[in-house]
Structures are given as structure tokens and as C-alpha cells.
Amino acid sequence: MGIPGSLTFKLGIEKTVYNNKDSYILGGLGQAVIEWAHGALSPENLPATIASVENLRVVRDTDAPPTDEERQQFVRFADFFLGVDSRSWYALLRKLQPSCCGVDDLLAAGIILHDHRPPYGVNYIVDFENEELVITASVRRKRFALTFEELTAMYPPRLNVYRAHHAFDEDEDEDEDGEDEDEDEREGVR
């Protein structure tokens, strides 16, 4: 099943969509987001991407259920075999997750089901205010950021995927001099 996570667009307000599986950096949602960002966040494409995010409708399962028109419009993203109310937004938009349809298709659909849960797994925040992609891993309590400039540079997006992946792979128990940080603390060294 893989690891869950989320994708957030931060532009005045945060619009967050849940990602049920494959939120890994390497070969999962992280790679898809970084590859998407390479083109979508370039100076020439940024205005259109911002407009798509601004127009992105956020629905919640506590909202009124989808109308018949909305059900017809979004039926391609539905998963009615979940054991939940098939008339819910959750069932209707279940396959409208970034790892299932891709970020471009998610934005083109113009709608997301809001993820109300606290951050967990691996989370990707496209921060338009600070012009960076922030990646957090809740279990390891790590954070890594790539600027829009780094994301859209001439080198292949795969390089940024590896940079992000290795930032989370580093041994977090070692400090800068390679010593075991926990051992230093036990000995009173700071």
C-alpha cells in the first residue's frame, strides 16, 4: 500500500488534498510533484499555475452532498466500492488524489476533497508565498525545501528528486562532525 501523505497548495490559504499511498519521494508522489513543478512553476507558466490553484474548489465531506450534475462531472474519479456512502464527496473524489491522477489532472479537475487530518507520512507543500516546495516527513520530523528557482532550473528534475530523497535518508543521529549526537548528550557534551 505504501505510505500516506498530502499535497498542499499554499496561496493565501492552504488547500490540502490527501494522498492515500505512494507518497514516497523517490518513485512516488514526491517525484511526481517535483517533475510537475519543473514546468508548472517556471516563470512563463507560473501565472497560469497560480490561476489554477486560486480557482481550485475545496469541498469537505461535511458539505452538502454532490448534486447529480457534479456526480456526472466527476464520476471518472469515483470509487463507489469503499464501504462508505456512495453519495459522499469522499467516494466521488476518491481517485482524485495526486498519486492516482497526477498534479496537472488534479488542477484541471478544479476540485479537491479537503484533508482535515494533521500532517502524517510524507507531505508536500507548494508554497507560492515563499516560492518553495517544502517536504516534511512527520515520522522522522524532518523538513527539506527546494526553491522555485531550483525546481525549474535547466538540470533534469530527477536530480531534485535525488536531492530530496537523500536529505531524508541521512542518518539523523549523527551531528556535523559524524559523532553520535545521543552519545554526546549522555556524556554532557553540547
Tens-place pLDDT, residues 114-152: 987 777 788 999 999 999 999 998 766 788 999 999 999
- Can you give the pLDDT at residue 130? 97
- Can you give the pLDDT at residue 26? 82
- Can you give the pLDDT at residue 140? 66
- Residue 135: Cβ within 10 Å count: 24
- Can you give the pLDDT at residue 177? 45
Torsion of CA 173, 174, 180, 186, to 10 degrees: -60
- Can you give the pLDDT at residue 183? 41
Q: Is the pLDDT of residue 45 over 50?
A: yes
- Can you give the pLDDT at residue 179? 46
Closest CA to 20 of 164, 121, 139, 144: 121
Q: pLDDT (tens digit, 9 = 90+) per residue, 8-18?
A: 999 999 999 98
d(CA 133, CA 137): 13
Q: pLDDT (tens digit, 9 = 90+) per residue, 62-96?
A: 899 999 999 999 999 988 777 767 788 988 998 89
Closest CA to 95 of 70, 75, 73: 75
Contact 19, 5 (CB under 8 A): yes
Residue that wins the pLDDT comparison between 103 and 165: 103
- Can you give the pLDDT at residue 116? 75
- Can you give the pLDDT at residue 1? 54
- Can you give the pLDDT at residue 175? 43
Q: Give me 54's grid cell.
A: 486560486
Q: Give me 100's grid cell.
A: 492516482
Q: Give me 27's grid cell.
A: 518513485
Q: What is the mean pLDDT of residues 169-176?
A: 50
174 pLDDT tier (thresholds 50, 70, 90):
very low
Q: Is the pLDDT of residue 172 over 60?
A: no
Q: What does the H/E/C string look like for the chain?
A: CCCCEEEEEEECEEEEEEECCCCCCCCCHHHHHHHHHHHHCCCCCHHHHHHHHHCCEEECCCCCCCCHHHHHHHHHHCCCCCCCCCCCHHHHCCCCCHHHHCHHHHHHHCEEEECCCCCCCEEEEEECCCCEEEEEECCCCEEEEEEHHHHCCCCCHHHHHHHHHHHHHCCCCECCCCCEHHHHHHCCCC
